[in-house]
């Protein structure tokens, strides 16, 4: 796939053509723009999922993750109601306490609803997006360079400190850290929020409203983790509000990357995890005298700046050819 065809594909209208048997007057709660190949609701355990796939996905993603995170939240890594500490320090305890719930949430819920609603055709679409590596090389360069650059510039502006050169150990750990982030955070979250929810939301509501809804829900999904070590030592409302604002702003960047790269999930995952990897691996080494909170502040500022630029440059289309959903 060459860059020109990728951009052309991303620019096509997202609404599917009506197909035989599609109900022009759906019942309340039924998807009025079903994905091509979507099964009729019918009866049985999957009927509810087929009647309201988006609602089903969001409910399952929240319920499964929050349930799986309950032991971590109750342990000494969280509120301390359970006399147990997850082993392995910060990294190990989060891999054991957080990652299973992350995998059980967005990606598992998306696959469950996809199989129930669209069967093998839905899984083929999922596989195509998840393996769409063949996009223009400049997209990979853009993400790999622009994310650290934006966070560095934002931190410099906020702290009035010049960045230091990262140590050899940090540089050696940067790529392995990015790979680890891709197969943990990236794989656990993005196949749900972006691969499953975003195309369906955009078909129904257009890119702007879809981005706002997914961004808010994406942030809210993390909220119980602010009761744990994951959220840092200060369990107050300020970091939570900052995080929610950041996920909303960054969602506009993610939607634009998703649409402009022809729905390439590897690029979407790389965009998300590049932020996590830079802040967790290199940021403190480059700004040794800055308070750790400035990493979050820099992410918020750079996300809002990028979102504003994208909104103005695309006139609100976020990489699509239209601003309103099909009716």
pLDDT, one tens digit per residue, over 254-272 is 999 999 999 999 999 999 9
320 within a domain of the structure (yes/no)? no
Is residue 16 a part of any domain in this protein?
Answer: yes
Per-residue pLDDT reduced to its tens digit, 144-202: 999 999 999 999 999 999 999 999 999 999 999 999 999 999 999 999 999 999 999 99
Please report, to the nearest 10 degrees, the dihedral formed by the alpha carbons of residues 140, 145, 147, 151 taken in order. Answer: 180
Residue 12 has pLDDT above 80, yes or no: no
Q: Say which residues have a Cβ less than 8 Å from residue 139's Cβ, sequence separation at least 6.
A: 257, 261, 264, 267
Which of the four pLDDT bands, split at 50, 70 and 90, describes residue 233?
A: confident
Q: CA–CA separation, 98 vs 105, rounded Å?
A: 11
- Express each pLDDT in 101-116 by its tens digit: 999 999 999 999 999 9
Average of per-residue pLDDT across 287-291: 97
Q: How far apart are CA 82 and CA 177, in angstroms?
A: 31
**119 found inside a domain:** yes
Tokens of 58: 């969001």
Residue 248 maps to a domain = yes
Residue 291 counted as domain residue: yes
Q: What is the pLDDT of residue 91?
A: 86
Specify the residue for token string 């403190």.
284
Contact 46/52 with Cβ under 8 angstroms? no
Please tell me which of 1-10, 16-25, 63-72 the model is most confident about, judged by mean pLDDT: 63-72
**The pLDDT value given to residue 24:** 44
Strands (E), 14-163: none
- Kindly report the average pLDDT of the chain as a whole number: 88
301: domain range?
3-314
DSSP 39-75: PP--SSTTHHHHHSHHHHHHHHHHHHHHHHHHHHHHS
Q: Write down the pLDDT at residue 27.
A: 44
Query: Out of 10-24, 74-88, 208-222, which region has the weakest mean confidence (pLDDT)?
Result: 10-24
Indicate the DSSP class of residue 225.
G
Tally of domains in the chain: 1
What are 296-307's pLDDT values in tens digits?
Answer: 999 999 999 999
What integer pLDDT is reported at residue 18 of this predicted model?
41
Query: What is the pLDDT, as a whole number, of residue 236?
Result: 84
Buried b vs exposed e over 171-208: b needs ≥16 C-beta within 10 Å?
A: eebeeebbebbbebbbbbbbbbbbbbbbbbbbbbbbbb
């Amino acid at each position: 796939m060459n860059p020109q065809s990728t951009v052309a594909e991303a620019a096509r209208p997202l609404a599917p053509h009506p197909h035989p048997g599609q109900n022009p007057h759906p019942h309340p709660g039924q998807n009025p723009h079903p994905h091509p190949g979507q099964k009729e609701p019918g009866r049985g355990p999957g009927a509810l999922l087929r009647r309201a796939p988006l609602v089903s996905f969001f409910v399952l993603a929240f319920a499964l993750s929050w349930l799986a995170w309950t032991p971590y939240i109750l342990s000494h890594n969280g509120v301390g109601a359970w006399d147990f500490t997850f082993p392995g320090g910060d990294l190990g305890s989060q891999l054991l306490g957080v990652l299973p719930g992350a995998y059980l949430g967005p990606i598992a819920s998306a696959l469950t609803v996809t199989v129930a609603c669209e069967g093998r055709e839905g899984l083929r679409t999922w596989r195509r997006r998840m393996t769409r590596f063949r996009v223009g090389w400049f997209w990979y360069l853009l993400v790999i360079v622009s994310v650290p650059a934006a966070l560095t510039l934002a931190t410099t502006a906020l702290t009035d400190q010049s960045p230091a050169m990262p140590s050899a150990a940090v540089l050696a750990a940067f790529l392995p850290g990015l790979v680890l982030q891709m197969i943990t955070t990236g794989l656990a979250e993005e196949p749900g929020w972006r691969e499953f929810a975003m195309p369906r939301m955009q078909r129904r509501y257009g890119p702007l409203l879809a981005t706002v809804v997914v961004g808010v829900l994406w942030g809210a999904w993390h909220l119980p983790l602010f009761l744990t070590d994951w959220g840092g030592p200060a369990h107050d409302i300020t970091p939570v509000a900052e995080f929610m604002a950041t996920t909303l702003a960054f969602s506009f960047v993610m939607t634009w990357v998703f649409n402009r790269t022809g729905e390439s999930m590897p690029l979407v995952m790389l965009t998300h995890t590049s932020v996590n990897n830079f802040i967790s691996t290199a940021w403190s080494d480059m700004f040794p005298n800055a308070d750790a909170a400035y990493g979050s502040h820099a992410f918020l500022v750079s996300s809002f700046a990028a979102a504003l630029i994208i909104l103005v440059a695309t006139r609100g289309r976020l990489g699509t050819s239209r601003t309103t959903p099909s009716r």
